[in-house]
Amino acid sequence: MLFWIAAAIMTILVLALILSPLMRRTRETGTPEEVEIALYRSQLAAIADEQRAGRIIEADAEATRTEVKRRMLASAHRHSGETAAVGTSNPARYRRLAVVGIGAAIPLLALTMYLPAGRPDLPDRPFADRGPERAAAGLPDPQEQALVRELAERMSRDPKDPQGWALLGGAYVRQGRYDEAVTAYENANARKPRDAEILSALGEALVLQADGVITEAARADFEAAVSLAPKSVRARYFIGLAKAQAGDYAGAAASWRALLTDAPPDAAWRASVEAELEQAQRAAGEGADTTAAQPRNK
């Protein structure tokens, strides 16, 4: 009931704004009759001025005044006939019809559009609970945000756990907070320096921080990860990407071919690496200056 009361009040306000100009009588600047009579009166005043100045004799002045007055009477009779024929109430009647028609049409149209799908009895749904809408807007999940804050507070109290820092770095990457992700992975690496997974994750965070560019520091982390774990998929992928960005397309193609050779046939990332391998092979065979693909999380 509150919904319908609010809707009715809003409808009345909108109608008042729309219809108020139609309900007001606007005074015309002057009807044709008024304009014509004013012209004749001006002529009579001009005749009197000419007679006083001695530029016209009295007989001529009187004859001219008589002619102007005759025209004034003719004009009055002509316009009175036109007014009777047209009717003075038509404009007001048209305004009333327009007000009634528009005032009825707007609410009917609104109800026609609302009733098939509208449900005023449903409670409002907070935006924080609208997962698809938040994802489409590029907003992080509120529950994940709370967990990340909780993890960050725990790591500030107990910074000795490298796995906790690695988990926090991964969460920051998912939220696009790359500077904080690099710091978290550096903390993890400082507490567990010979871990291939941490090194490759740190290298990827550095790449994302640099807008996709494989920096020297990132490449060193990937190479260190491969030296510790020769089968590291993420590190090997980014090493190939570093070669492609440096213009060594043949070297990039060789790295990605070796990676695909060791990969299982159903690897989720296989298709993307195959596409980049094809691009690198084409660039190497033609000697073209082709820009390497942007990195993907592995």
Q: What is the DSSP string of 128-193?
A: GG-HHHHHHTTPPPHHHHHHHHHHHHHHHH-TT-HHHHHHHHHHHHHTT-HHHHHHHHHHHHHHST
Q: Looking at residue 214, what is its pLDDT?
A: 96
Residue 183 located in a structural domain: no
Q: In terms of domains, do 73 and 38 share one?
A: yes
Residue 98 located in a structural domain: yes
Residue 71 located in a structural domain: yes
Separation CA 199–CA 186 (nearest Å)? 9
In the three-class reduction of DSSP (H, G, I as helix; E, B as strand; rest coil), residue 215 is classed as: coil
Q: Looking at residue 145, what is its pLDDT?
A: 82
Residue numbers of the chain with a pLDDT score lower than 50: 26-29, 86-89, 127-128, 130-131, 134-135, 137, 286-297
Residue range(s) defining the domain that contains residue 98: 1-23+94-115
Residue 2 located in a structural domain: yes
In the three-class reduction of DSSP (H, G, I as helix; E, B as strand; rest coil), residue 26 is classed as: coil
Residue type, 100: V
Separation CA 163–CA 118 (nearest Å)? 50
Residue 145 located in a structural domain: no
Residue 102 located in a structural domain: yes
What's the whole-number average pLDDT of the chain?
Answer: 77
Residue 108 located in a structural domain: yes
Q: Which of the 8 DSSP states describes residue 127?
A: G
Separation CA 19–CA 12 (nearest Å)? 10
Report the number of distinct structural domains present in the chain: 2
Give 276-298 pLDDT, tens digit per residue. 999 999 998 844 443 444 444 45
Q: In terms of domains, do 52 and 74 share one?
A: yes
Residue type, 141: D
The number of beta carbons lying within 10 Å of the beta carbon of residue 234 is 23
Residue 255 located in a structural domain: no
